[in-house]
Amino acid sequence: MSDYKMDAARAAMQLLKEGQTIGLGAGSTIAKLIELITTECSFASSLTFISSSFTTSNLILEKGLNLRYTNTIKKLDLYFDGCDQFDKELNALKSGGGIHTTEKILASMALEFVLIGDAGKFAEQLDTTYPLVIEVLPNALPLVLNHLNTSFPDARLNLRMSSQKDGAVISDHGNLLVDIHFSALLPLEELNIRISLIPGVVEHSLFYRIAAKAIIAGPDGVQTLLPQRIS
């Protein structure tokens, strides 16, 4: 049985060049890319890595690769990450891990943000399969929830709660995470703006027109997709 994530990771590795600074997100495809870099990249020691993920950062260190931290660099050559779902414009929802704020910072720092993973993540248009996740300043939570309930009365809001301790999930930045389950998505440009303008919202999990390409693998082989912009 084909390992599509490994196929996508192997194709992504072809973009690497000696001396680059590479950003890495989270997930199993990223872990496979790190394994390939460790075992098959002849210039791995010349590469510098930054990650948005605690787990990925630990793996980078475990493999003996050069890890630096976000506040020590100004730009990335490449940022690789997976997603929950992406569309033909390469708009992506990255809702699962709750680290989208740091992921978006690194994606915006990169000369090229590349989505990688299996072809099953592709949809012609983003839908409501996954929630939009927002990171919220704790002292703004009542304001934000009230604003969302007023603006999106059909949406269902869930404050993420911890399964390992009493209380809410706390983000890497000390904030709260709220899942917004829409009955239908607004036009993405409008959604991107309206959520971003709510006072107290730090960031949201819609990556609107940030990705430069997607490398995916599936039954039809490995494909590199470029954004099909809709005016």
- Residues identified as active-site: 103
User: Which distant-in-sequence residues (6+ apart) come within 8 Å of 133 by Cβ?
Assistant: 95, 98, 100, 177, 178, 179, 180, 204, 205
Q: How far is CA 128 from CA 104, 109, 131, 179, in A?
A: 21, 28, 6, 12
Q: Is residue 132 exposed (0-12), middle (13-18) or buried (19+ Cβ within 10 Å)?
A: buried
Q: Is the dihedral of CA 178, 179, 183, 188 positive or negative?
A: positive
- In this structure, what DSSP letter does residue 139 have? G
Q: Residue 114: beta bridge partners?
A: 80, 213
Q: Name residue, tokens 């793996």.
A: 59
Q: Number of helices (H) and strands (E) in the chain: give both, helices first.
A: 6, 14
Phi, psi (deg, nearest 5) at residue 39: -100, -25
Contact indicator for 90, 214 with CB cutoff of 8 Å: yes
